[in-house]
C-alpha cells in the first residue's frame, strides 16, 4: 500500500475532533491512517522540544521522525493515566538526547520573560499592523531565538516547553522527568539569563518563535506514514 493510499483511507474529517486517547484506541484497533491526526496535532510541540535539545536544524526532522516511529511501535505502552502529548514529548526528548550523544538527565528546557513590550503587544493585537510593526516583530522574534539558543543545555528545554510552548510546570516536569521545584528553579534562572541579554523586549513575540511550517510538517508526516504503510514498522504485540 502506498502512502497516498494510506492517506486516502483516512477516517472522515470528523475524526479530527476525536480526543488523543480516542485516536490512540482506534489506531491500536487497526486504523493506522489515524496516526496522521496525532502527528499533525502535535508537530509544533515535538519540533520545539527536539529543537531545544539538538539545536541543529538538519537533525531536528530526523529526531521527530524517529520519535513518531518509536511512539507508533510502542503505542501499547501508552497508559491513559497521563496525557498522550506528555508521553509523546518524553519520547521525543529521549530521542533528541540520544541523538545529541550526551546521556545526561533530560533537564535542558527553560524560560520566557515576564515583561512584555507595549509596542510589540500593540503590533500583535492590531487588526492591521503597520509594516514597521511587522518588521519590528520579526526582528524581536529572531532576537528571542538567538537568546534561547545561547542558553546552557540545562535550561534551554525548560524554557521552550514552559514559556514558548506554554506547558504547565507539571506537564513540563512530566515530559522531562523533573520535579515541579526543579522546573521552577531552572525556569527562573533561564528567564534571568534572557533578561540580561535582551531586557524586557521579548514577551509578546515569544509565542511566535520556532514555528514549524506546513511544508516541513508535511514532510515529517509523509516519512512516518510511508514507514507505517510499507510494513517496516508496526505496533509491538507485547
How many other C-beta atoms can be found within 10 angstroms of the C-beta atom of residue 212? 19
Query: What confidence tens digit (pLDDT) does each residue in 87-111 have?
Result: 999 899 888 888 876 423 333 333 3
Give SS3 for 187: helix
160: enclosing H helix or E strand: none
Taking 3-state DSSP, the helix, strand and coil percentages for the chain, each rounded to the nearest 5, stand at 70, 0, 30
Is the CATH code 1.10.357.10 the one for domain 118-208?
Answer: no
Instruction: Using the predicted structure, report yes or no on whether residue 10 has a pLDDT greater than 50.
Output: no
Residue-range domain boundaries for the chain: 3-104+213-229, 118-208
Give me the CATH code for the 3-104+213-229 domain, please.
1.10.1740.10
Query: b/e for 151-164, b at 16 or more Cβ within 10 A?
Result: bebbbbbbbbbbbb
Q: What is the CA radius of gyration of the chain?
A: 19
* pTM value > 0.85: no
Q: At what angle do helices 35-54 and 84-100 cross, to 10 degrees?
A: 40
Instruction: Using the predicted structure, report yes or no on whether residue 195 has a pLDDT greater than 60.
Output: yes
Query: What confidence tens digit (pLDDT) does each residue in 137-180 have?
Result: 677 677 778 888 888 887 988 988 888 888 889 888 888 888 99
Q: What is the DSSP string of 49-76?
A: HHHHHH--HHHHHHHHHHHHHHHHHTGG
Amino acid at each position: 500500500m502506498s502512502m497516498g493510499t494510506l492517506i486516502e483511507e483516512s477516517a472522515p474529517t470528523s475524526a479530527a475532533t476525536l480526543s488523543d486517547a480516542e485516536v490512540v484506541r482506534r489506531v491500536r484497533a487497526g486504523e493506522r491512517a489515524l496516526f496522521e491526526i496525532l502527528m499533525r496535532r502535535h508537530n509544533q510541540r515535538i519540533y520545539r522540544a527536539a529543537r531545544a535539545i539538538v539545536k541543529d536544524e538538519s537533525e531536528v526532522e530526523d529526531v521527530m521522525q524517529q520519535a513518531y516511529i518509536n511512539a507508533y511501535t510502542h503505542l501499547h505502552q501508552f497508559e491513559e493515566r497521563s496525557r498522550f502529548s506528555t508521553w509523546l514529548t518524553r519520547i521525543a526528548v529521549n530521542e533528541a538526547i540520544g541523538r545529541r550523544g550526551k546521556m545526561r538527565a533530560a533537564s535542558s528546557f527553560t524560560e520566557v520573560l515576564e515583561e512584555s513590550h507595549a509596542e510589540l503587544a500593540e503590533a500583535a493585537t492590531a487588526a492591521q499592523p503597520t509594516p514597521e510593526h511587522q518588521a519590528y516583530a520579526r526582528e524581536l522574534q529572531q532576537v528571542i531565538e538567538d537568546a534561547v539558543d545561547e542558553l546552557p543545555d540545562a535550561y534551554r528545554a525548560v524554557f521552550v516547553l514552559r514559556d514558548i510552548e506554554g506547558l504547565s510546570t507539571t506537564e513540563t516536569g512530566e515530559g522531562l522527568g523533573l520535579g515541579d521545584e526543579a522546573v521552577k528553579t531552572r525556569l527562573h534562572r533561564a528567564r534571568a539569563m534572557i533578561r540580561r541579554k535582551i531586557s524586557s523586549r521579548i514577551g509578546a513575540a515569544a509565542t511566535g518563535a520556532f514555528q514549524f511550517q506546513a511544508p516541513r510538517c508535511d514532510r515529517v508526516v509523509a516519512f512516518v506514514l510511508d514507514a507505517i504503510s510499507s510494513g517496516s514498522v508496526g505496533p509491538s504485540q507485547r
